[in-house]
Structures are given as structure tokens and as C-alpha cells.
């Protein structure tokens, strides 16, 4: 009996605490399966909807207008129009490209910014194209006004993520015009790697963020039944999928991977969730609205329908997980920090844009 009581106490104290902070959630506008948002200015944002629309939304009054585009996209399972980023005079879109014969790829296109019509041209295609509607990844960040990092999910292909001669299952790093940085792994010790690949061994990163404090890139990776993680993007390293599954199991509850524990061949995540909460978008907060949260990780989830806050300790340890809210707005697909530090969320299910303030 004493052992049972101790076990219950350990489980209780290891669970994330419920936050005591006060905040307000306000719905700005209803949408149709939104996937990503990016700010144009302090009052307007571009929003991508998975089924193919790009919208210009006024976050002050909720008005919206359709933005025309020429993307050769395909709505295929989890695929469609995915991450959108406005950076200076350009808009970048990560999307599911129709490559013909039922095959698709995680592709990235760029257009000169316009509020009415975006004429995109591809700057990256994940090869080979695959007949699968799963695991496109498709999150992006821009670093130093020069490099674009993107996640190319492994499309349900498992150990394809260990093949550095194929893009699926890797982190991509290219210049903003699609050219290849001369300090990518291929040119710095990994001559057999494809030139765009920066890191391998990932499953389906549906979150990526650039820290405003140390300028490092971090991802949230969607595991199987367990094994969701938050971790750093590292030069020429390997997160292990599907040799190692970060403590998770297959959806059938069978063992996942060839090894069941971390070993030195692989990058070790900074934080994992077992069982899975289906992590999605992530941000490292910096802003005026919730100034006391500066440097904290904000993690969204799909299945768990929660927003969580985690504390960074010395930039190499994650602790003090809190559930800010759960089951309020449905599956949370994206999170972005507004120009004045307010938090903006896109939800599926209820399909809306939300504003979080004090």
C-alpha cells in the first residue's frame, strides 16, 4: 500500500500544473480550417486555410478579403496550404504541391507581397514526391534576414528520415531566394547529404520558432503514441526517427524503433510528452502584454486542445510546465505573437482566429 501511495504522489507531482494567471480569450473571426498566420502590420494578418484560401484579415474589426494566388496545391489528408510567412517585401508559403500521378511534396514558394494577388514561384521541393497524405511538417522560420529553415515531414515513411539522400524526414535550410548556403552540412563534412538538408531523423515537426533571445531555431515534433518533443535544430545532427521514438510506442501499442532509449548517436530532445498530446505550433514569448512570460515556451496541441507554458532554464533545460487552458477553443493549429505582445491563435474544430490578452 505504501508503494502505491508513493507512486500516486510521483504521478501527481509530475503532471503539469494548472496556471493561475488571468487572461482573456476573444474570438476575432470564424474561418475554414485555418493553418497559419503571419502579420503584415499591427492591424492586418495573412491567414492560410488548408483547403486553399489565403485571407487578409483585420485583427481589429474582423473584416477579411480573399487574396488570389497561383499555387499548384493539393488537399491531401493532412496536406494543403500550410505555413505562411511575410518577411519584408516577400511572402513565403509552405504547401502540399501536386506533383502528378497522385504524388505530392512538401514545397516552398515565394511571392512579392501584395494584398490582392500573390504570384508564387517555387524555391524548394522535397524529393522524392510521395503518394501519401501524411506528415508534411511544413513549418518555417527566417533567421538573420538570410536563411529559411523548414521542416519536411517523413510522409509516414519511417526510416526514410534516416536517408540523407532524400528530403522527407529532415530540417531544410536554404537562402531566401532558394539557393544553398555554403555552410550547410554538405559542404562542411557531410558530402553525401543533399545540399538543402541541415538535420535528419525527424517525424512530423508541426511547430518551429526562432528564439528572440539566442537566435536559435527550435521545433516541436509530433510523435506517434507518445514521443512528442521540443528540441533544438542542430547542424548535421540526427534526431533518430524511426530507430528511436523518443519514448513513444506505435499506434498499435507495439514497441517503436530499434532501440528503446536514447544513445549518443542521436540529438536528445529538451522535453518530451509520453503519452502524446499531439504538439503543434510553438513560440518563445517576448512582448509587453505578458512581460513576465519573456523567454518562456508556449506550446499548442491538437488532440489535447491545450495551450501550455514551459520555462527555459539556461537555454538547455525545460521545466515548470503549466496548462494555461484546455478544451476552450478546440484543436490549436497555430500561435503567433502580435506586434504588441498579444497572443494570436488559430483553432480547428471551432475554426477561428482568437486573441489572448490580459
For residue 33, what is its C-alpha cell?
480550417
Preceding amide of 242 cis, omega within 30:
yes
**CA–CA separation, 137 and 168 (whole Å):** 9
Measured on CA atoms in the order 45, 49, 50, 51, is the torsion positive or negative?
Answer: negative
Output the pLDDT for position 264: 92
What is 22-357's CATH superfamily? Answer: TolB, C-terminal domain (2.120.10.30)
C-beta neighbour count of 56 within 10 angstroms: 17
What pLDDT, on the 0 to 100 scale, is given for residue 205? 96
- Can you tell me the distance from the alpha carbon of 170 to that of 137, in angstroms, rounded to the nearest whole number? 9
Q: Collapse the DSSP code of 124 into the 3-class scheme (helix H, G, I; strand E, B; otherwise coil) and give the result.
A: strand
Distance of CA 252 to the CA centre of its chain: 25
DSSP, collapsed to helix, strand or coil, labels residue 11 as helix
pLDDT reported for residue 349: 83
- C-alpha distances out from residue 166 to 187, 193, 196, 260, Å: 17, 9, 10, 25
| Spans of all domains in the chain | 22-357
Based on C-alpha coordinates, what's the Rg of the chain?
A: 20
Tell me the C-alpha distance between 283 and 343, whole Å. 10
C-alpha span between 157 and 284 (Å, rounded): 30
Q: Is 4 helix (H, G, I), strand (E, B) or coil?
A: helix
- Gap between the Cα atoms of 309 and 326, Å rounded: 12
Q: Are 177 and 148 in contact (CB under 8 A)?
A: no
Residues written for the chain: 358
pLDDT of residue 16: 73
CA atoms within 13 A on the CB side of 300: 28
User: How far apart, in Å, do the first and last CA atoms of the chain sit?
Assistant: 45
**Which residue matches cell numbers 527550435?**
218
Contact 191, 185 (CB under 8 A): no
Neighbouring CB atoms inside 10 A of 177's CB total 9
Q: How far apart are CA 263 and CA 240, in angstroms?
A: 9
Q: Which residue from 77, 55, 50, 75 is spatially nearest to 65, judged by alpha carbons?
A: 55
Residues whose CB is less than 8 angstroms from the CB of residue 62 and which lie 6 or more positions away in sequence, other chains included: 28, 29
Q: Are strands 34-39 and 54-58 parallel, antiparallel or unpaired?
A: unpaired
Which three three-digit cell numbers place residue 121? 514561384
Note down pLDDT in tens along the chain; length 358 residues.
544 444 444 444 446 766 666 899 999 999 999 999 999 999 999 999 999 999 999 999 999 999 999 999 999 999 999 999 999 999 999 999 999 999 999 999 999 999 999 999 999 999 999 999 999 999 999 999 999 999 999 999 999 999 999 999 999 999 999 999 999 999 999 999 999 999 999 999 999 999 999 999 999 999 999 899 999 999 999 999 999 999 999 999 999 999 988 999 999 999 999 999 999 999 999 999 999 999 999 999 999 999 999 999 887 899 999 999 999 999 999 999 999 999 999 999 889 999 999 9
**Among 152, 210, 222, which Cα is nearest to 337's?**
210
Residue 15 sits at the vertex; the CA angle it makes with 12 and 19, to the nearest 5 degrees, is 115
Amino acid at each position: 500500500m505504501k508503494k502505491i501511495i508513493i507512486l500516486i504522489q510521483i504521478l501527481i507531482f509530475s503532471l503539469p500544473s494548472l496556471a493561475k494567471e488571468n487572461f482573456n480569450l476573444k474570438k476575432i473571426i470564424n474561418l475554414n480550417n485555418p493553418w497559419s498566420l503571419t502579420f503584415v502590420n499591427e492591424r492586418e494578418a495573412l491567414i492560410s486555410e488548408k483547403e486553399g484560401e489565403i485571407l487578409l484579415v483585420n485583427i481589429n474589426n474582423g473584416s477579411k478579403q480573399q487574396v488570389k494566388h497561383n499555387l499548384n496545391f493539393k488537399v491531401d489528408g493532412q496536406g494543403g496550404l500550410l505555413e505562411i510567412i511575410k518577411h519584408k517585401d516577400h511572402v513565403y508559403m509552405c504547401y502540399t504541391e501536386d506533383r502528378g500521378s497522385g504524388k505530392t511534396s512538401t514545397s516552398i514558394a515565394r511571392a512579392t507581397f501584395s494584398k490582392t494577388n500573390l504570384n508564387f514561384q517555387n524555391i524548394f521541393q522535397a524529393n522524392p514526391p510521395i503518394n501519401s497524405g501524411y506528415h508534411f511538417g511544413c513549418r518555417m522560420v527566417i533567421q538573420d534576414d538570410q536563411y529559411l529553415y523548414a521542416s519536411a515531414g517523413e510522409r509516414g515513411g519511417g526510416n526514410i528520415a534516416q536517408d540523407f539522400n532524400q528530403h522527407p524526414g529532415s530540417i531544410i535550410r536554404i537562402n531566401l531566394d532558394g539557393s544553398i548556403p555554403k555552410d550547410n552540412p554538405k559542404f562542411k563534412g557531410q558530402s553525401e547529404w543533399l545540399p538543402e538538408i541541415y538535420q535528419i531523423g525527424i517525424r512530423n515537426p508541426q511547430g518551429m520558432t526562432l528564439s528572440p533571445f539566442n537566435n536559435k531555431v527550435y521545433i516541436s515534433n509530433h510523435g506517434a503514441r507518445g514521443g512528442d518533443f521540443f528540441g533544438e535544430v542542430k547542424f548535421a545532427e540526427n534526431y533518430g526517427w524511426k530507430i528511436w521514438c523518443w519514448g513513444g510506442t506505435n499506434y498499435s501499442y507495439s514497441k517503436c524503433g530499434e532501440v528503446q532509449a536514447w544513445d549518443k548517436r542521436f540529438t536528445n530532445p529538451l522535453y518530451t510528452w509520453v503519452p502524446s498530446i499531439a504538439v503543434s505550433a510553438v513560440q518563445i514569448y517576448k512582448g509587453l502584454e505578458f512581460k513576465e512570460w519573456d523567454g518562456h515556451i508556449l506550446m499548442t496541441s491538437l488532440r489535447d486542445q491545450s495551450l501550455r507554458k514551459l520555462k527555459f532554464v539556461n537555454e538547455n533545460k525545460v521545466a515548470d510546465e503549466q496548462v494555461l487552458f484546455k478544451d476552450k477553443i478546440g484543436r490549436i493549429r497555430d500561435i503567433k505573437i502580435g506586434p504588441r505582445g498579444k497572443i494570436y491563435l488559430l483553432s480547428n474544430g471551432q475554426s477561428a482566429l482568437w486573441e489572448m490578452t490580459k
